[in-house]
Amino acid sequence: MRAEALKGHLDGLLLAALEDGPRHGYAVKEALRDATDGRIDLPTGTVYPALHRLENAGLIKGSWSVVGGRRRRTYELTEQGRRSLAGARDHWQEFAAVVSAALGGGPWPATN
């Protein structure tokens, strides 16, 4: 999937990748890739600036540790981040439903 298609949704995706617990930057990227069967595979180096932005906004909190002799920064959601994630989910549901209706592809999500 092209990076431009993720514009406006990257924050929500990164927050969702941290929902199950603390992760470091590379693990966040891997979690996102695994959750989407490889369809969203962000360049590793661009995940970190986005995480810093989320931290500056108070949505995630970082802490340092040393793993295998390397300094590692691990991130976890804050309460504000959890609220933001819930908001992003609601917004996405509404957006997807509207666009699906407009494109004429039937209701979204698909129900059997």
- Residues forming contacts to other proteins in the complex (CB under 8 A) are 24-27, 29, 41, 43-50, 52-53, 56, 67, 70-73
The CB-of-27 to other proteins minimum distance in angstroms stands at 8
The CB-of-83 to other proteins minimum distance in angstroms stands at 21
Q: What share of the chain is helix, strand, coil (3-state, %, to 5)?
A: 55, 15, 30
Q: Which is nearer to other proteins, 49 or 87 (CB)?
A: 49
The CB-of-16 to other proteins minimum distance in angstroms stands at 19
Contact 18, 75 (CB under 8 A): yes
Longest dimension (CA), the chain: 54
**Beta partners for residue 73, in sequence order:** 64
Q: Which is nearer to other proteins, 67 or 102 (CB)?
A: 67
